[in-house]
Chain A
Amino acid sequence: MTLYTNMPPELVWAGFNEEQQSQPLIEIETAGIRMEIEPVGHGRGKIVRLLHAALDDYLRPELSPGQIINYANIYSPK
Protein backbone atom coordinates (compact mmCIF):
# COMPACT_ATOMS: atom_id res chain seq x y z
CA MET A 1 0.00 0.00 0.00
CA THR A 2 1.36 3.36 -1.02
CA LEU A 3 0.22 6.51 0.65
CA TYR A 4 0.21 9.57 -1.63
CA THR A 5 -0.53 12.54 0.59
CA ASN A 6 0.91 15.93 1.44
CA MET A 7 0.46 15.23 5.14
CA PRO A 8 3.70 14.30 6.91
CA PRO A 9 3.74 10.51 7.45
CA GLU A 10 4.62 10.88 11.12
CA LEU A 11 1.31 12.71 11.62
CA VAL A 12 -0.73 10.24 9.62
CA TRP A 13 0.73 7.18 11.29
CA ALA A 14 1.01 8.57 14.84
CA GLY A 15 -0.27 5.96 17.27
CA PHE A 16 -0.51 3.24 14.64
CA ASN A 17 1.38 0.71 16.74
CA GLU A 18 -0.60 1.38 19.87
CA GLU A 19 -3.73 -0.46 20.83
CA GLN A 20 -6.35 1.16 18.63
CA GLN A 21 -9.61 -0.39 19.69
CA SER A 22 -10.56 -0.61 23.31
CA GLN A 23 -13.39 -2.97 22.40
CA PRO A 24 -13.57 -5.48 19.57
CA LEU A 25 -15.77 -4.58 16.62
CA ILE A 26 -19.09 -6.40 16.41
CA GLU A 27 -21.38 -7.29 13.57
CA ILE A 28 -25.10 -6.63 13.66
CA GLU A 29 -27.86 -7.25 11.21
CA THR A 30 -31.04 -5.23 10.88
CA ALA A 31 -33.58 -4.83 8.07
CA GLY A 32 -31.34 -6.79 5.71
CA ILE A 33 -28.35 -4.59 6.41
CA ARG A 34 -25.34 -6.23 7.97
CA MET A 35 -22.82 -3.84 9.41
CA GLU A 36 -19.71 -3.71 11.49
CA ILE A 37 -19.91 -1.37 14.45
CA GLU A 38 -17.63 -0.17 17.18
CA PRO A 39 -19.38 -0.10 20.57
CA VAL A 40 -19.23 3.30 22.24
CA GLY A 41 -21.22 2.36 25.35
CA HIS A 42 -24.86 2.41 26.52
CA GLY A 43 -26.00 0.16 23.69
CA ARG A 44 -24.76 2.58 21.10
CA GLY A 45 -22.21 1.94 18.43
CA LYS A 46 -20.41 3.79 15.70
CA ILE A 47 -20.84 2.36 12.21
CA VAL A 48 -17.48 1.25 10.83
CA ARG A 49 -18.72 -0.13 7.53
CA LEU A 50 -21.67 -1.80 5.89
CA LEU A 51 -20.81 -5.43 5.18
CA HIS A 52 -23.75 -6.10 2.96
CA ALA A 53 -26.79 -4.05 2.18
CA ALA A 54 -29.10 -3.21 -0.67
CA LEU A 55 -27.44 -0.82 -3.09
CA ASP A 56 -29.73 2.08 -2.19
CA ASP A 57 -28.89 1.70 1.51
CA TYR A 58 -25.43 3.03 0.68
CA LEU A 59 -27.09 6.30 -0.33
CA ARG A 60 -28.70 6.74 3.11
CA PRO A 61 -26.69 9.32 5.03
CA GLU A 62 -27.74 7.85 8.41
CA LEU A 63 -25.92 4.63 7.50
CA SER A 64 -22.62 6.19 6.47
CA PRO A 65 -19.47 5.25 8.41
CA GLY A 66 -19.04 7.22 11.62
CA GLN A 67 -22.78 7.51 12.33
CA ILE A 68 -24.01 6.41 15.75
CA ILE A 69 -26.62 3.66 15.92
CA ASN A 70 -28.61 2.12 18.77
CA TYR A 71 -27.85 -1.57 18.65
CA ALA A 72 -28.99 -2.84 22.04
CA ASN A 73 -32.13 -4.46 20.61
CA ILE A 74 -30.63 -5.67 17.35
CA TYR A 75 -29.82 -9.29 16.74
CA SER A 76 -26.11 -9.91 16.50
CA PRO A 77 -25.14 -12.92 14.41
CA LYS A 78 -21.84 -13.48 16.19
Chain B
Amino acid sequence: MSYKDELKLEEPQVQEDKKKSALVESIQQLGQMPQVAPESNIFCMTIIGQIEGHLVLPPQNKTTKYEHLIPQLVAAEQNAKIEGILIVLNTVGGDVEAGLAIAEMISSLSKPSVTLVLGGGHSIGVPIAVAGGKSFIAETATMTIHPIRLNGLVIGVPQTFEYLDKMQERVVRFVTTHSNVTEAKFKELMFKTGELARDIGTTVIGADAVRYGLIDEIGGIGEAIRELNLAIERRKSGIAGGTIQ
Protein backbone atom coordinates (compact mmCIF):
# COMPACT_ATOMS: atom_id res chain seq x y z
CA MET B 1 0.00 0.00 0.00
CA SER B 2 1.44 3.34 -0.99
CA TYR B 3 1.67 6.27 1.38
CA LYS B 4 -1.13 8.04 -0.49
CA ASP B 5 -3.48 5.09 -0.05
CA GLU B 6 -2.78 5.02 3.64
CA LEU B 7 -3.63 8.70 3.86
CA LYS B 8 -6.89 8.12 2.06
CA LEU B 9 -7.82 5.33 4.45
CA GLU B 10 -7.03 7.46 7.41
CA GLU B 11 -8.99 10.48 6.29
CA PRO B 12 -12.55 9.52 7.32
CA GLN B 13 -11.31 8.64 10.79
CA VAL B 14 -9.43 11.93 11.10
CA GLN B 15 -12.48 13.85 9.95
CA GLU B 16 -14.67 12.01 12.42
CA ASP B 17 -12.25 12.86 15.21
CA LYS B 18 -12.22 16.48 14.19
CA LYS B 19 -16.01 16.59 14.24
CA LYS B 20 -16.04 15.00 17.69
CA SER B 21 -13.46 17.40 19.09
CA ALA B 22 -15.39 20.36 17.69
CA LEU B 23 -18.49 19.04 19.42
CA VAL B 24 -16.66 18.53 22.70
CA GLU B 25 -15.11 21.97 22.42
CA SER B 26 -18.49 23.51 21.76
CA ILE B 27 -19.98 21.81 24.83
CA GLN B 28 -17.06 22.80 27.06
CA GLN B 29 -16.84 26.39 25.96
CA LEU B 30 -20.32 27.43 24.97
CA GLY B 31 -21.92 25.22 27.60
CA GLN B 32 -24.33 23.87 25.02
CA MET B 33 -24.66 21.55 22.07
CA PRO B 34 -24.52 23.04 18.63
CA GLN B 35 -28.03 23.28 17.22
CA VAL B 36 -29.13 19.90 15.94
CA ALA B 37 -32.70 20.96 15.29
CA PRO B 38 -34.25 19.58 12.10
CA GLU B 39 -32.76 21.62 9.31
CA SER B 40 -35.08 24.22 7.87
CA ASN B 41 -34.65 25.59 4.39
CA ILE B 42 -35.84 29.00 5.61
CA PHE B 43 -33.56 31.37 7.44
CA CYS B 44 -35.39 33.69 9.81
CA MET B 45 -33.81 37.03 10.59
CA THR B 46 -35.22 39.32 13.25
CA ILE B 47 -34.67 43.05 13.26
CA ILE B 48 -35.61 44.39 16.67
CA GLY B 49 -35.19 47.53 18.74
CA GLN B 50 -32.75 50.13 17.49
CA ILE B 51 -30.68 49.42 14.41
CA GLU B 52 -27.20 50.13 15.68
CA GLY B 53 -24.77 51.72 13.27
CA HIS B 54 -21.43 53.36 13.68
CA LEU B 55 -21.92 54.26 17.34
CA VAL B 56 -22.59 51.84 20.16
CA LEU B 57 -25.81 52.98 21.81
CA PRO B 58 -26.20 53.13 25.61
CA PRO B 59 -27.14 49.78 27.17
CA GLN B 60 -30.83 50.61 27.81
CA ASN B 61 -31.40 50.25 24.06
CA LYS B 62 -32.20 46.87 22.59
CA THR B 63 -30.21 46.84 19.43
CA THR B 64 -29.76 44.98 16.18
CA LYS B 65 -26.15 45.11 15.12
CA TYR B 66 -25.51 45.56 11.42
CA GLU B 67 -22.04 44.02 11.58
CA HIS B 68 -23.76 40.76 12.51
CA LEU B 69 -26.73 41.00 10.13
CA ILE B 70 -24.63 41.70 7.05
CA PRO B 71 -22.46 38.54 7.26
CA GLN B 72 -25.64 36.63 8.17
CA LEU B 73 -27.23 37.77 4.90
CA VAL B 74 -24.06 36.86 3.00
CA ALA B 75 -24.09 33.41 4.66
CA ALA B 76 -27.78 32.92 3.89
CA GLU B 77 -27.23 33.86 0.26
CA GLN B 78 -24.24 31.55 -0.06
CA ASN B 79 -25.42 28.54 2.01
CA ALA B 80 -26.93 25.94 -0.33
CA LYS B 81 -29.26 24.58 2.38
CA ILE B 82 -31.06 27.90 2.74
CA GLU B 83 -33.66 28.45 0.08
CA GLY B 84 -35.59 31.40 1.42
CA ILE B 85 -35.20 34.24 3.91
CA LEU B 86 -37.88 35.52 6.24
CA ILE B 87 -37.28 38.91 7.81
CA VAL B 88 -39.34 39.76 10.88
CA LEU B 89 -39.36 43.40 11.94
CA ASN B 90 -40.25 45.06 15.19
CA THR B 91 -38.01 48.08 15.16
CA VAL B 92 -38.09 51.71 16.18
CA GLY B 93 -35.58 52.71 13.52
CA GLY B 94 -31.99 53.67 14.05
CA ASP B 95 -28.92 54.53 12.03
CA VAL B 96 -29.68 55.62 8.46
CA GLU B 97 -26.56 54.12 6.91
CA ALA B 98 -26.89 50.80 8.71
CA GLY B 99 -30.61 50.58 7.92
CA LEU B 100 -30.12 51.33 4.26
CA ALA B 101 -27.21 48.89 4.08
CA ILE B 102 -29.42 46.11 5.45
CA ALA B 103 -32.27 47.10 3.11
CA GLU B 104 -29.95 47.04 0.07
CA MET B 105 -28.56 43.65 1.12
CA ILE B 106 -32.08 42.20 1.42
CA SER B 107 -33.25 43.66 -1.88
CA SER B 108 -30.24 42.27 -3.76
CA LEU B 109 -30.55 38.69 -2.45
CA SER B 110 -31.03 36.22 -5.27
CA LYS B 111 -33.02 33.88 -3.02
CA PRO B 112 -36.70 34.57 -2.28
CA SER B 113 -37.26 36.89 0.68
CA VAL B 114 -40.39 37.90 2.54
CA THR B 115 -40.63 40.66 5.14
CA LEU B 116 -43.15 40.75 7.95
CA VAL B 117 -43.80 43.81 10.10
CA LEU B 118 -45.04 42.85 13.56
CA GLY B 119 -45.60 45.48 16.21
CA GLY B 120 -43.75 48.27 14.47
CA GLY B 121 -41.48 49.06 11.60
CA HIS B 122 -40.75 52.72 12.11
CA SER B 123 -38.51 55.29 10.45
CA ILE B 124 -35.51 53.48 8.94
CA GLY B 125 -37.49 50.25 9.45
CA VAL B 126 -39.69 51.36 6.51
CA PRO B 127 -37.07 50.79 3.76
CA ILE B 128 -36.19 47.43 5.35
CA ALA B 129 -39.88 46.47 5.44
CA VAL B 130 -40.25 47.07 1.70
CA ALA B 131 -36.89 45.56 0.71
CA GLY B 132 -38.00 41.92 0.41
CA GLY B 133 -39.60 40.22 -2.56
CA LYS B 134 -42.96 40.45 -0.85
CA SER B 135 -43.98 42.36 2.27
CA PHE B 136 -46.58 41.64 4.91
CA ILE B 137 -47.82 43.67 7.84
CA ALA B 138 -49.81 42.45 10.83
CA GLU B 139 -53.20 44.11 11.15
CA THR B 140 -52.20 45.89 14.37
CA ALA B 141 -48.65 46.77 13.34
CA THR B 142 -47.69 50.38 12.78
CA MET B 143 -45.15 52.26 10.74
CA THR B 144 -44.16 55.83 11.53
CA ILE B 145 -43.14 57.88 8.53
CA HIS B 146 -41.50 61.16 9.49
CA PRO B 147 -38.66 63.42 8.34
CA ILE B 148 -35.08 62.76 9.41
CA ARG B 149 -34.33 64.90 12.43
CA LEU B 150 -31.27 66.98 12.78
CA ASN B 151 -28.66 65.71 15.18
CA GLY B 152 -25.15 66.93 15.62
CA LEU B 153 -23.42 70.20 15.13
CA VAL B 154 -24.62 72.83 12.66
CA ILE B 155 -21.80 74.83 11.12
CA GLY B 156 -23.38 76.00 7.89
CA VAL B 157 -27.16 76.24 7.70
CA PRO B 158 -27.61 75.80 3.92
CA GLN B 159 -25.16 72.91 3.85
CA THR B 160 -26.85 71.19 6.78
CA PHE B 161 -30.23 71.60 5.11
CA GLU B 162 -28.87 70.23 1.87
CA TYR B 163 -27.30 67.26 3.67
CA LEU B 164 -30.50 66.37 5.52
CA ASP B 165 -32.45 66.69 2.30
CA LYS B 166 -30.06 64.29 0.57
CA MET B 167 -30.29 61.76 3.40
CA GLN B 168 -34.06 61.94 3.24
CA GLU B 169 -34.03 61.59 -0.51
CA ARG B 170 -32.09 58.30 -0.20
CA VAL B 171 -34.82 56.88 2.02
CA VAL B 172 -37.65 58.20 -0.18
CA ARG B 173 -36.05 56.84 -3.33
CA PHE B 174 -35.45 53.41 -1.85
CA VAL B 175 -39.01 53.11 -0.52
CA THR B 176 -40.69 54.34 -3.71
CA THR B 177 -38.63 52.06 -5.99
CA HIS B 178 -39.21 48.97 -3.83
CA SER B 179 -42.92 49.41 -3.09
CA ASN B 180 -46.04 50.64 -4.83
CA VAL B 181 -46.30 53.92 -2.94
CA THR B 182 -45.81 57.01 -5.10
CA GLU B 183 -43.23 59.61 -4.20
CA ALA B 184 -45.93 62.27 -3.81
CA LYS B 185 -47.95 60.10 -1.41
CA PHE B 186 -44.91 59.05 0.63
CA LYS B 187 -43.76 62.65 1.00
CA GLU B 188 -47.28 63.73 1.91
CA LEU B 189 -47.28 61.14 4.72
CA MET B 190 -43.81 62.18 5.77
CA PHE B 191 -44.53 65.89 6.13
CA LYS B 192 -48.09 65.75 7.46
CA THR B 193 -48.71 67.97 10.45
CA GLY B 194 -51.19 67.45 13.27
CA GLU B 195 -50.91 63.65 13.36
CA LEU B 196 -48.00 63.08 15.71
CA ALA B 197 -47.76 64.80 19.07
CA ARG B 198 -44.07 65.63 19.00
CA ASP B 199 -43.11 65.37 15.36
CA ILE B 200 -44.49 65.85 11.91
CA GLY B 201 -45.34 62.78 9.90
CA THR B 202 -47.88 59.96 10.04
CA THR B 203 -48.41 56.71 11.85
CA VAL B 204 -49.67 54.20 9.33
CA ILE B 205 -51.52 51.18 10.72
CA GLY B 206 -51.68 47.73 9.01
CA ALA B 207 -54.50 48.16 6.49
CA ASP B 208 -53.51 51.77 5.70
CA ALA B 209 -49.96 50.69 4.82
CA VAL B 210 -51.45 48.29 2.28
CA ARG B 211 -53.89 50.92 0.99
CA TYR B 212 -51.06 53.42 0.35
CA GLY B 213 -49.13 50.73 -1.52
CA LEU B 214 -46.30 50.73 0.99
CA ILE B 215 -46.78 47.07 1.97
CA ASP B 216 -48.13 44.31 -0.27
CA GLU B 217 -50.52 42.48 2.02
CA ILE B 218 -51.99 42.18 5.49
CA GLY B 219 -50.90 38.97 7.12
CA GLY B 220 -49.12 37.15 9.87
CA ILE B 221 -46.55 34.43 10.08
CA GLY B 222 -48.76 31.86 8.31
CA GLU B 223 -49.25 34.02 5.21
CA ALA B 224 -45.58 35.03 5.17
CA ILE B 225 -44.31 31.43 5.30
CA ARG B 226 -46.84 30.29 2.72
CA GLU B 227 -45.74 33.06 0.35
CA LEU B 228 -42.08 32.24 0.93
CA ASN B 229 -42.65 28.54 0.21
CA LEU B 230 -44.51 29.45 -2.98
CA ALA B 231 -41.64 31.69 -4.05
CA ILE B 232 -39.14 28.90 -3.32
CA GLU B 233 -41.19 26.48 -5.45
CA ARG B 234 -41.42 29.03 -8.27
CA ARG B 235 -37.67 29.57 -8.17
CA LYS B 236 -36.98 25.83 -8.18
CA SER B 237 -39.24 25.18 -11.17
CA GLY B 238 -37.75 28.24 -12.88
CA ILE B 239 -34.23 26.90 -12.45
CA ALA B 240 -35.30 23.41 -13.58
CA GLY B 241 -37.06 24.93 -16.60
CA GLY B 242 -34.00 26.95 -17.43
CA THR B 243 -31.74 23.93 -17.69
CA ILE B 244 -34.04 21.98 -20.06
CA GLN B 245 -33.43 24.10 -23.15
B50 cross-chain contacts in A, Cβ below 8 A: 5, 7, 12
List the 8 closest A-B pairs by CB distance, nearest first. Answer: A5-B93, A6-B144, A55-B75, A58-B71, A4-B124, A6-B122, A15-B58, A4-B123
The smallest C-beta distance from A69 to any residue of chain B, in angstroms, reads 6
The smallest C-beta distance from B169 to any residue of chain A, in angstroms, reads 13
Selected from A4, A8, A12, the residue in CB contact (under 8 A) with B99 is A4
Q: What 1/0 flags go to A25-55 for Cβ under 8 Å of B?
A: 0000011000000000000000001100101
A12 cross-chain contacts in B, Cβ below 8 A: 50, 57-58, 61
Contact yes or no, B96 A4, CB < 8 A: yes
B167 at the interface (CB under 8 A from A): yes
Among the listed stretches B111-119, B130-138, B145-153, B213-221, which one makes contact with chain A, having 4 or more residues with CB under 8 Å of it? Answer: B145-153
Selected from A3, A4, A13, A55, the residue in CB contact (under 8 A) with B71 is A55
Q: Which B residues are within 8 Å of any A CB, using their own CB? A: 22, 25-26, 28-32, 34-35, 43, 50, 53-61, 65, 67-68, 71-72, 74-76, 78-79, 92-97, 99, 122-124, 144, 146, 148-149, 151-152, 167, 171, 198-199
A5 to B123, CA, bound (A): 5
The smallest C-beta distance from B90 to any residue of chain A, in angstroms, reads 13
Given contact pairs A5-B123, A6-B123, A56 touches B79 in the complex (Cβ within 8 A): yes
The smallest C-beta distance from B245 to any residue of chain A, in angstroms, reads 33
Q: What 1/0 flags go to A7-18 for Cβ under 8 Å of B?
A: 111011111100
A28 to B118, CA, bound (A): 36
Contact yes or no, A49 B68, CB < 8 A: yes
A74 cross-chain contacts in B, Cβ below 8 A: 29
Selected from B29, B67, B95, the residue in CB contact (under 8 A) with A2 is B95
Contact yes or no, B30 A62, CB < 8 A: yes
